[in-house]
Amino acid sequence: GIQVEQSPPDLILQEGANSTLRCNFSDSVNNLQWFHQNPWGQLINLFYIPSGTKQNGRLSATTVATERYSLLYISSSQTTDSGVYFCAGKAAGNKLTFGGGTRVLVKP
């Protein structure tokens, strides 16, 4: 199966700072998604982004499918952005594979 690597593994931000999270895939993928797991464990779908760029408020994501990576941008971070961010994608077939996550802590 495909390998999904996320970096950095941990990130500490001061409230108001900007940051970029990266997701690399070992093979071409479709159905690329970003998720946020909040401190209570709930997984929320942030973006479905197999290619191109999307924005949702202070979050945006860019996927360069030909180079097998995706980036998640957090701007003007808030304490509510804390949690773990996961990317996931499918190669051929129906199995969505997740990366190990980036743990983000935003300090007030």
Partner 1 sequence: NAGVTQTPKFQVLKTGQSMTLQCAQDMNHEYMSWYRQDPGMGLRLIHYSVGAGITDQGEVPNGYNVSRSTTEDFPLRLLSAAPSQTSVYFCASSYSGPGYGYTFGSGTRLTVV
Site string for partner 1, 14-53 (x = CB under 8 A): ----------------xx-x-x-----xxxxx-xx-x---
Determine, following the binding rule CB under 8 A, whether residue 99 of this chain makes contact with partner 1: yes
DSSP state of 1: -
Determine, following the binding rule CB under 8 A, whether residue 85 of this chain makes contact with partner 1: no
Give 43-66 as a DSSP string. EEEEEE-SSEEEEETTEEEEEEGG
Of 17, 91, 96, 105, the one binding partner 1 by CB under 8 A: 96
- Contacts with 35 (C-beta within 8 Å, 6 or more apart), sequence order: 43, 44, 45, 46, 85, 86, 87, 88
Determine, following the binding rule CB under 8 A, whether residue 76 of this chain makes contact with partner 1: no
Q: Is 35 helix (H, G, I), strand (E, B) or coil?
A: strand
Of 70, 72, 89, 101, the one binding partner 1 by CB under 8 A: 101
Determine, following the binding rule CB under 8 A, whether residue 56 of this chain makes contact with partner 1: no
Q: Cβ(39)–Cβ(51) under 8 Å?
A: no
List contacts with partner 1 (CB under 8 A).
Answer: 1, 30-31, 33, 35, 41-45, 47-48, 50, 86, 88, 94-101
